[in-house]
Structure 1
């Protein structure tokens, strides 16, 4: 009997339907010489510390670090019955097909059960990228040897055990040190969650300490061929900042008066460039989360849940937890079927489909760029869009648009830069004239992901031509702080952690890294920080709580360093590729933890009182201090932040004062 082990009941039903395994059994579906069973996510979990010794029930510094010499797993109580079903089926089968999700965690869900049950028989791998019937049949006809994906299990196992080591040991270490300093709360530390939290805390501090600075622009109205257009005055070097902005209002005002007095500007150069832009790649999960956050206001977990429903429930899109936007060239054969299904599902697409050329090959079609998964695209299932929720329709529309864009003409436009001179004053005018709208017709309307570009259309201008200046206006501006993170931009920051690094050698090393976390885990990490009160959502923006500031203030920089976590992710990639083994990786983590525990166990943390209010300036926790006029609340980050609050009116925000 061949046993298929799936990740979820819904997935098992889809595969069993194709295998004609329609007979219901205890926790399984059976057919002719095949049985399909399912897990409910992970049925096993790493044992708690007290499993390795009764003394670990109590938190003490003397017992740290806790490093198991032989790892143990236990059944999750709520799903123990289903685990027993699979154990019994493994005793009677003569072949196993791992049919869980095609990623690290999916591999681990099945393999940890096989290892626990000491299964020794042959193993095959069903690698699915979509759950429609055609895709399942195609994958069933191309089962892979189990050895090809075994390294995914090793990678997930290393990740799981490293997270356990860091979470158990460092959470206990810093919570105990916090208690010694008078902080009664829990200081939970995670290998990924703490560096992620640090990104938000540091962004909040930059915003809180930001001092806006004024600058001025001068915009002149000129006329040529009966068309009025704008040109911007260029300030001289002595009156502008490093970004070329005029920081002296009087200089700008004098320039505006000179331009109006002369009332003429001569064209000194005209540079016209024809630009052809190909379409953006189909979505990977991180990019989809970023766009859904910006366009639809969806959280990272909401986006993942919706994409998962489109994949599992509606069979409308391919596997969502992908870190790759490219598509294998072997899928070009399916293009006509997919386009036909899209047309059948939404006849209103006809206006766009007129420009679609199924034979067109964008840069997305590149098999050499494919990782474990390809970009998220529609399947050949003809949907009844009315059966989708409003959110599902919106997310499906984004995915569909990116796919259609691959078969539409390039977006072409003329980009013009005109330099003008009025005695000593220089101006420039930028223009854009669209020649071929191409794929922008579908992307602009569907996801709005492209940033706004100057749409000014310039008249035909020639060098040496003198033009009348109709007006010159001085505009006042103020520099703006960086924007607070949203869930989408935080996912992007987690992916592109190299952008946070100043060291050029380390930056280059991290360029190709997947960053902090994985496509499958980032949403859950952010949601966990929100659920535990470390991050708060204000409309679409994320803000760190006082507890979050307390935690980041308490732990040493290396624990919250996102670069260190990204390097760990690179090590996990090496395990996946077979260049590093699990034992070596975990030994390095254990050595690092041992050194960290020993070096910090005798330290006293600077941790503010748990019940202190949040600083009105930077949102960090506050501690009481005594001044000339009595006791007051002072920011725990003093002197970096000088925010204060009176003790008697601590619920009101007062103006920052010197502590």
Structure 2
């Protein structure tokens, strides 16, 4: 009899279905040859500091640094009461260990996810207490379909061969515990006033916060500059019009308006001639297959209200339902051994498409490339077609399926035309660009509409008339705030060689392993930064809060903000996983770093980064609500009516979008004055050009709904 341990009940059910085992007992399935049981993710966790020494129950700065001589595990805590063990986890551990001890069980197979976290989950359960006296093997799968489960059980590996993967999992877990426990405790004691939630310090949290902070600072310190362009409208003999932009010495943006005005005056009523024409056919490849970061970026950018965390949860659910392959991957290609299987999957999904005749399976390096696969292949659908999906599942599944089909459609092709028109009296020339889509190819899959810019048919040396010309003024724009999509790209590549308009192909060539976090943890990091109040979301944009800014500007352990430093740590974990580096060396470095960091914080300046106000005190009433005359009080996200429980919706949001366009946030003083007088003078507003100005502001109810809008009156 073989005992299989799955990571979750849903996966155990998939394995039982594949083996056609129907008999379910309390905590396991049982058939003739197999018993299948399950965990609920992690069933055990590391000891808390107070479990090692009772003095650690009280946070005292002198108790740190604290690094246990021997790391120990306990049953995971009950999420509702952290002082006691989770009863469900306790019971399931008992069931698993009783099954392991059964006389008829001669082999244990860990079927947890094939990654360092999955390895850690399985091993922490199987080797808990005494080492089992039965052989332990590993089932390594990329999907949970029946075919793959049966094939995988024929080629299980001894669990001992997974030691590098386990070492990487342990190294990550212990490192995060040591850095988190020590630096969070000491930073909270040193820099926080008032009791409440801790000042969270983490190995992946801080560099991610720094990426957002740096972009915020770029935007804040950006000085807009004026520039000018000269555009002209020409007409051919056939009365067809086209536009051209003035270019001189490869430059089309000019700082001097006077210079362009002079050129504009000179060319009036002059004849123009087409001096060059370039026509080129260009091919467009379909975007590469999804890895997790690209899938998260694509969905969060395209659909409102989606976060990276939500995309991961939906993808994980589709994986457990057997509809897609393993989602927590960093690869954008497939292993070459999957060629035959992929052809069958493509046939399954393309048989009923209106353009099925254009879908042709080919083995290309762009899709099948072992050198571009790290642990797991890219995310693709399996041969199991879902009959019914929820709207969220459908949205993510369709994106994955479409991206897969695109790889086997014809390339898209377009024709690009460049015209150069010369007006003799001008030193420069006028450049025009046209683009016409010739072959839709892979764009048909998602009905991607290409914008054509059609130029008239003209020949070199043909004379054209200058109909009109004008000098237009423009302003340079600040960089854009980070979105989850752009932040994921920087985290994935650790900022190396990253440009926002860079193709996904380039990102895929960045040295594997050198990143911030892993595909599995980046979404969780973003969510945590929001939950602990270091960043906030404004629509799709992510920006630092005052607390986040203060932490970056004040916290003395600068290495934790450094992308290079964090990238090297993640690279070390990747090397441990590949057997190229030692767990003990890595942990020794982490322990030294932690000891030094604690001493740096202790010896640093006494500054308050975060002051927690007691929530038990009565909230100050700032004025009367203009709707129901109840008191308006300050909340975490805005200044709102205290009568909100009865349905009053009056609120002035702290991240008000209209005020944010002028780099302003509502303050308590501003709200008091507004409620008292109906108008408030706001100083230091910033225009789009970066100029400062003052204005009188009113906050008035809209006539057609219950919402309020700002009205602005300029002051002299």
- Same fold by TM-score greater than 0.5: yes
How far does residue 467 in structure 1 lie from its aligned partner after superposition? 2.4
Corresponding residue for residue 278 of structure 2: 271
Q: CA deviation at 1:454?
A: 6.7
Change (3 A) 1:183 1:295: same
**8 Å CA contact retained: 2:554, 2:609:** no
Residues 111 and 590 (structure 1), Cα distance of their counterparts in 2 relative to 1, 3 Å cut: same
Counterpart in the other structure of 2:146: 133
SS in 1 for 2:441: coil
> 1:84 aligns to what?
94
Identify which of 172, 189, 207 aligns with 1:195. Answer: 207
- Residue 204 (str. 1) matches residue 201 (str. 2): no
Deviation (angstroms), 1:321:
0.9
1:341-352 paired onto structure 2 within 5 Å: 341-343=348-350, 347=352, 349-350=353-354, 352=355
Q: CA deviation at 1:605?
A: 4.3
CA gap of 1:468–1:571, structure 2 versus 1, over 3 A, is: same
Displacement of 1:486 in angstroms is 1.8
Match of 1:480 among 457, 477, 482: 477
Of 230, 234, 237, 2:243 maps to: 230
1:126-160 deviation per Cα after TM superposition (whole angstroms, max 9, x unaligned): 12212222222232233233234332111111011
CA shift at 1:475, angstroms?
A: 2.7
| Alpha-carbon distance change, 437 to 122 in structure 1, aligned in 2, over 3 angstroms | same
CA RMSD of aligned residues (A): 2.9
C-alpha contact 1:360 1:407 (8 A) present in aligned 2: no
**Change beyond 3 A, Cα 1:113–1:651:** farther
Distance 1:649 1:270 in 2: 60
1:544-579 Cα distance to aligned partner (Å, 9 max, x none): 222212222221322222221111000001101111
User: Which stretch shows the higher mean deviation, 57-66 or 167-176?
Assistant: 57-66
Separation of aligned partners in 2, 1:508 and 1:382: 29
Q: Name the CA distance, whole Å, in 1 between partners of 2:412 and 2:447.
A: 11
In structure 2, the partner of 1:563 is 564
Alpha-carbon shift at residue 246 of structure 1 (Å): 1.7
2:206 equivalent to 1:178: no
Q: In the alignment, is the contact (CA less than 8 A) between 1:405 and 1:442 conserved in 2? A: yes
How far apart, CA to CA, are the structure 2 residues paired with 1:197 and 1:271?
47
Q: Which residue is 1:627 aligned to?
A: none
The verdict on how the C-alpha distance between 1:148 and 1:470 changes in structure 2, with shifts beyond 3 A counting, is: farther
The 5 A counterparts of 1:21-170 are 21-76=21-76, 77-78=85-86, 79-92=89-102, 93-117=105-129, 118-170=131-183
- Whole-Å separation in 2 of the counterparts to 1:212 and 1:461: 39
Distance 2:361 2:498 in 1: 42
Hey, what's the Cα distance between the residues in 2 that align with 1:508 and 1:288?
A: 14
Secondary structure class of the residue paired with 1:457: coil
**In structure 1, what is the equivalent of residue 617 of structure 2?**
none
Partner of 2:437: 434
Q: How does 1:369-408 map to 2 (within 5 A)?
A: 369-384=372-387, 387-408=388-409
* Greater mean alpha carbon deviation, residues 274-283 or residues 575-584: 274-283
- 1:492 paired residue among 480, 489, 493: 489
Write the mapping of 1:329-344 to structure 2, written as runs, cut at 5 A: 329-343=336-350
Q: What is the CA distance between 1:7 and its match in structure 2?
A: 0.5
Contiguous gaps of at least 5 residues in structure 1: 613-641
Cα 1:608–1:233, aligned 2, differ >3 Å: closer, same or farther? same
Any conservation in 1 of the 2:75–2:90 contact (CA below 8 Å)?
A: yes
Aligned residues: 605
Shift in alpha-carbon separation, 1:39–1:651, aligned structure 2, 3 A: farther
The residue number in structure 1 matching 2:468 is 471
Unaligned runs of 5+ in 2: 77-84, 500-506, 614-662, 674-681, 686-691, 694-716
Taking the aligned partners of 1:436 and 1:550, their CA distance within structure 2 comes to 53
1:229-274 CA-to-partner distances (Å, cap 9, x unmatched) read 221112569xx7xxx6222233333333333332x33333333333
Q: Indicate how the Cα distance of structure 1 residues 454 and 336 shifts in structure 2: closer, same or farther if over 3 A, else same.
A: closer
Deviations 1:341-368 (A, max 9, x none): 3246xx4x22x32211124646111233
Q: Distance in 2 between matches of 1:647 and 1:341?
A: 61
Structure 1 residues 55 and 331: CA distance shift in structure 2, 3 A: same
Distance 1:277 1:236, change over 3 A: closer
Change (3 A) 1:544 1:374: same
- 1:397 deviation in Å? 1.6
Instruction: Note if contact 2:495-2:563 (Cα within 8 Å) is conserved in structure 1.
Output: no
**SS state of the match for residue 558, structure 1?**
helix
Which of 274, 287, 297 aligns to 1:280? It is 287
Where is the helix percentage greater, Structure 1 or Structure 2? 1
1:619 aligned partner: none
Find the aligned partners of 1:609 and 1:407 in 2 and give their Cα distance. Answer: 55
Q: Distance in 2 between matches of 1:231 and 1:142?
A: 65
Q: CA 1:549 to 1:373, structure 2 compared with 1: closer, same or farther past 3 Å?
A: same
